[in-house]
Amino acid sequence: MGGAVSAGEDNDELIDNLKEAQYIRTELVEQAFRAIDRADYYLEEFKDNAYKDLAWKHGNIHLSAPCIYSEVMEALDLQPGLSFLNLGSGTGYLSSMVGLILGPFGVNHGVELHSDVIEYAKQKLDFFIKTSDSFDKFEFCEPSFVTGNCLEISPDCTQYDRVYCGAGVQKEHEDYMKNLLKVGGILVMPLEEKLTKITRTGPSAWETKKILAVSFAPLIQPNHADSGKSRLVHLPPVAVRSLQDLARIAIRGTIKKIIHQETMNKNGNGLKNPPRFKRRRVRRRRMETIVFLDKEVFASRISNPSDDNNNSEDLEDDRQEEEETKPSELKPDPPVNFLREKVLSLPLPDPLKYYLLYYREK
């Protein structure tokens, strides 16, 4: 068993491999994947496997393989300001990446069957907001999670621009899922062993595209044995931002523009030779196989027969490149959170500074 791409040593290397294998194809998706470290959503004792292109499950906690999430993110065609519904939101990893793209005026809701997983997701979300420097590079649409069975969503709920279901959908539930979409919206779900993209082109018109062969655990059917009644899931209301919150968004946006302009002026419009670092050679690992792992399967790309024949040449190129770059190799400076530094330098009361920084710890 193995992944569709080779394992990385860290989150950035995993993303490099996903890009090389054409699972990540757009800049917005790449930025979201790089901003959130996949290992942060693992339990501590399992983090050694975080950068492998494999699914992970422990009890009710589950993460799909990175290549699956990549295909989902690309298929959703996310844009700022859209509304998103994640059915089976799990750890919140996908919802948080989506929130980075939706921005402050989007809607980001999740439905999860297991209450313990909801608590886990909230802890991970809080950790990301309070500790990650990536948070300050984006205007975030924070996810809201509710507990319940996604097949029991109240019929009077609002419709969404984008919907993803993270469990296998049977044909009998296809129309139910479609009705969660606005006209022009996109639904991505595992339907009859295929990751499927459905676009609503009109009130009763649809376009369907099969993306990838997959095998997810099926949706859990509602159980009414206890009360005999349906337990309707009521999604969070679409709330209007408070004036205070709008002011924080505007101030942070203005400060970011100032920082960008200062950087441009300092670097001569940004035209500055970057330091030279050793380039990590990423080899294409394209296989004509299907990978099974814990009820999840994904297909790899088709290989080029000449790749294996070039391994010795690649090794020699790596050796020569390392020798050439070693004398001038520079270590990158630790990242600086310029937004945080600028806010802390403002002549403002401390409570206002902390509010502008979302009371973040770093």
**Domain at 11-222+230-239, CATH class:** alpha beta
Closest CA to 93 of 28, 22, 39: 39
Q: Poorest-confidence range of 74-88, 257-271, 297-311?
A: 297-311
pLDDT at 226: 57
pLDDT at 87: 98
Average pLDDT for residues 200-205, to the nearest whole number? 96
Going by pLDDT thresholds of 50, 70 and 90, the confidence category of residue 239 is confident
- Determine the 3-state secondary structure of 330 from DSSP: coil
Give the torsion through C-alpha atoms of 107, 111, 117, 121, to 10 deg: 0
pLDDT at 304: 46
**pLDDT tens-digit series, residues 106-151:** 999 999 999 999 999 999 999 999 999 889 999 999 999 999 999 9
pTM for this model (two decimals) = 0.81
Residue that is written with structure tokens 């502008």 in the block: 356
Q: Poorest-confidence range of 149-163, 164-178, 211-225, 262-276?
A: 262-276
**pLDDT tens-digit series, residues 169-196:** 999 999 999 999 999 999 999 998 899 9
**pLDDT tens-digit series, residues 328-359:** 455 566 678 899 999 999 999 999 999 999 98
- More confident site: 20 or 316: 20
- Number of residues assigned to the chain: 362
pLDDT at 289: 41
Average pLDDT for residues 295-313, to the nearest whole number? 49
**Domain residue limits, the chain:** 11-222+230-239, 241-262+338-361
Judged against a pLDDT cut of 90, whether residue 272 lies above it is answered with: no
Residue that is written with structure tokens 């009820």 in the block: 295
Residue that is written with structure tokens 């469990």 in the block: 167
Judged against a pLDDT cut of 80, whether residue 283 lies above it is answered with: no
Judged against a pLDDT cut of 70, whether residue 3 lies above it is answered with: no
> Which of 64, 89, 95, 96 is the catalytic position?
64
Judged against a pLDDT cut of 50, whether residue 62 lies above it is answered with: yes
Rounded to an integer, what distance in angstroms lies between the CA atom of residue 149 and that of residue 91? Answer: 16
- What's the N-to-C CA distance of the chain in angstroms? 40
Q: How many CB atoms lie within 10 A of CB 243?
A: 8
Q: Poorest-confidence range of 94-108, 124-138, 261-275?
A: 261-275
Running DSSP on this structure, what letter comes out for residue 288?
Answer: S
pLDDT at 306: 47
**pLDDT tens-digit series, residues 69-87:** 999 999 999 999 999 999 9
Rounded to an integer, what distance in angstroms lies between the CA atom of residue 81 and that of residue 328? Answer: 45
Judged against a pLDDT cut of 60, whether residue 102 lies above it is answered with: yes
Closest CA to 57 of 117, 124, 141: 117
64 is catalytic: yes
Distances (CA, A) of 240 to 88, 177, 246: 25, 26, 10
Q: Are 307 and 283 in contact (CB under 8 A)?
A: yes
pLDDT at 284: 47
Q: Poorest-confidence range of 2-6, 30-34, 337-341, 352-356?
A: 2-6
